[in-house]
């Protein structure tokens, strides 16, 4: 995609899904205000129990190094992989990706800092998390500033959380 086309796309899209995967958390999977990004695409058929599952981002990009200007988005949704050390051929990895034990902190710290950079003043970053491998307490040590609001809710006895952070001043 050329630079001009990219600029037009972003002006019309104030909402970023930074790792959209199969867009399962979206009620509207093609919301006109949203730009859907993932580090990969994947065709239908990779997930036998959900034959329609596929990954088709508007743009391939890495949330640790995004091709966007500072303060570009008003709202960012971030649902990164949350399970450590899955095998590349496992269904869970194919659906949701994985983090590595030896690098998850630096990946998520870099991701948070990059999303903070592209989040507008008074914009909001919403993160979804599941404590299958890493507790919310451990996770939050990676982020500064910390979220000011969160929801913890048990799903299949594993807490699932959403954290909300708001960028308050141009320098914060």
Ligand X SMILES: C[S@@+](CC[C@H](N)C(=O)[O-])C[C@H]1O[C@@H](n2cnc3c(N)ncnc32)[C@H](O)[C@@H]1O
Please report whether residue 63 would count as binding ligand X according to CB under 6 A.
yes
For residue 152, which of 127, 133, 125 has the smallest C-alpha distance? 127
110 close to 62: Cβ distance less than 8 angstroms: no
The residue from 25, 149, 151, 152 that contacts ligand X (CB under 6 A) is 25
Who contacts 142 (Cβ-Cβ below 8 Å, separation ≥6)? 105, 108, 109, 112
DSSP state of 55: B
C-beta closer to ligand X: residue 62 or 120: 62
10 close to 72: Cβ distance less than 8 angstroms: yes
- Give the pairing type, strands 158-166 and 149-155: antiparallel
Please report whether residue 161 would count as binding ligand X according to CB under 6 A.
no
The residue from 10, 16, 22, 129 that contacts ligand X (CB under 6 A) is 22
Q: Could you tell me the smallest distance in angstroms from the CB atom of residue 61 to ligand X?
A: 6
Single out the segment in contact with ligand X by CB under 6 A; choices: 3-11, 18-26, 142-150, 160-168.
18-26
Q: How far is CA 114 from the centre of its chain?
A: 11
C-beta closer to ligand X: residue 21 or 161: 21
| Largest interatomic CA distance in the chain | 48
**Per-residue x/- marks for ligand X, 102-141, CB under 6 A?**
----------------------------------------
SS3 state of residue 91: helix
The residue from 72, 80, 86, 118 that contacts ligand X (CB under 6 A) is 80
Q: Could you tell me the smallest distance in angstroms from the CB atom of residue 22 to ligand X?
A: 4
Please report whether residue 13 would count as binding ligand X according to CB under 6 A.
no
Cross-strand partners of 119? 73
**Considering just the CA atoms, what is the radius of gyration of the chain in Å?**
16
The residue from 64, 124, 133, 162 that contacts ligand X (CB under 6 A) is 64
Which residues here bind ligand X, judged by CB under 6 A? 19-25, 38-40, 55, 62-64, 79-81, 96-97
């Amino acid at each position: 995609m050329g630079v001009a086309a990219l600029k037009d796309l972003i002006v019309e899209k104030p909402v970023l899904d930074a790792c959209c995967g199969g867009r399962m958390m979206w009620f509207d999977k093609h919301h006109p205000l949203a730009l859907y990004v993932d580090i990969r695409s994947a065709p239908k058929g990779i997930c036998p129990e959900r034959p329609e599952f596929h990954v088709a981002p508007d743009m391939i990009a890495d949330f640790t190094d995004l091709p966007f200007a500072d303060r570009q988005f008003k709202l960012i949704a971030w649902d990164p992989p949350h399970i450590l050390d899955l095998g590349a051929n496992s269904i869970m990895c194919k659906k949701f990706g994985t983090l590595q034990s030896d690098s998850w902190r630096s990946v998520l710290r870099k991701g948070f800092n990059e999303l903070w950079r592209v989040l507008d003043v008074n914009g909001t970053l919403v993160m979804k998390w599941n404590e299958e491998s890493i507790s919310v307490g451990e996770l939050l040590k990676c982020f500064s500033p910390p979220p000011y609001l969160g929801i913890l809710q048990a799903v299949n006895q594993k807490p699932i959380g959403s954290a909300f952070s708001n960028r308050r001043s141009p320098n914060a």
